[in-house]
Chains A and B, each alone.
Chain A
Amino acid sequence: MGLDRAMNISFSGVQAERIAMELIASNLANINTTRSLYGDPYRRKIAVLGERTLNFADELSRAQSKLSNGVEVIDVVEDMSPFPKVYNPGHPDADSQGFVRLPNVEESTEMVDQIYTSRMYEANITVFNTIKKMKQDTISAF
């Protein structure tokens, strides 16, 4: 059913934006984390979005109808840009010359991403509500 599929697609968008928001929350919360699991400072995490793949039957019908199954977070990658260094010899993670490596998270970038993600979430919910309204319109036409 077309509208059901559309509903599932906008739902997948909502899910993807939720994960993106989770990563932004994690980035901002770890903005001062100098010691992560591997010893390095925290690296900024980014969600990589891709077209959602489902089971074989759904994929086959998608290939035949050239339609989409929605979006999903395929991978979470780490931003490999260098860590900024700050001179702070009193810090427990300072190196022999007194420099501390801080996470490569920029507050301004995260704030912009946050606004964008929340707007995208809103857009997907709006699509969802529009589809719901279309379904209700069809029912009330009986």
Chain B
Amino acid sequence: MVEAINPLNNNAAKISELAQPASLPNAGSVSSSSFSGNVFDDVLNKAITALNNVSQSETYANEQIQKYVKGEAELEDVLLAQSKASIMVQLAVTTVNSAVTSFKELTQMQI
């Protein structure tokens, strides 16, 4: 019985080893590794990370459009994907713009 369990444990160890490299460097690492103490840098870095995520949702919306053209998706699937992507873009652009505006206001401050 014990002999039967041991190979299983070995396999489990191998599987956990295999699983290690599978954990991809996630999107959050960009902003966390480059914490510089500079608020605007961090805000802009995070905004860039957010924009990368936005481009994923845009890719998804694009896929849905292609699927619709091929007859694999319904029109409302395209509507949902496209609406979500467009709102995400709007939010990301607004965030970047407001950060840039704040930065400009600080640089134009009379000393």
Contact = CB atoms under 8 A, between A and B. Distances in A.
A104 to B, nearest CB: 29
B16 interface: no
A132 B76 contact: no
B39 interface: no
A18 B75 CA distance: 10
Interface residues of B, number: 12
A140 B80 CA distance: 21
Contacts of A139: 87, 90-91, 94
B86 to A, nearest CB: 8
Interface string B58-86: 00000000000000001010011001100
Nearest to B79: A128
A131 B59 CA distance: 23
Nearest to B97: A142
Contacts of B79: 11, 14, 128
Contacts of B57: none
Contacts, number: 29
A136 B89 CA distance: 11
Interface string A125-142: 000100010011001101
Contact of A128 (B83, B91, B94, B95): B83
A114 interface: no
Interface in A14-35: 14-15, 18
Contacts of A11: 76, 79-80
B63 to A, nearest CB: 17
B98 A142 contact: yes
A7 interface: yes
Contacts of B80: 7-8, 11
A142 B95 contact: yes
Interface in A63-116: none
A22 to B, nearest CB: 11
Given A7-B80, A136-B87, A15 B74 contact: yes
Given A7-B83, A132-B83, A132-B87, A18 B95 contact: no
Which 9 residue pairs of A and B lie closest in terms of their CB atoms, listed nearest first?
Answer: A14-B76, A142-B94, A135-B87, A139-B90, A11-B80, A139-B91, A139-B94, A132-B83, A142-B98
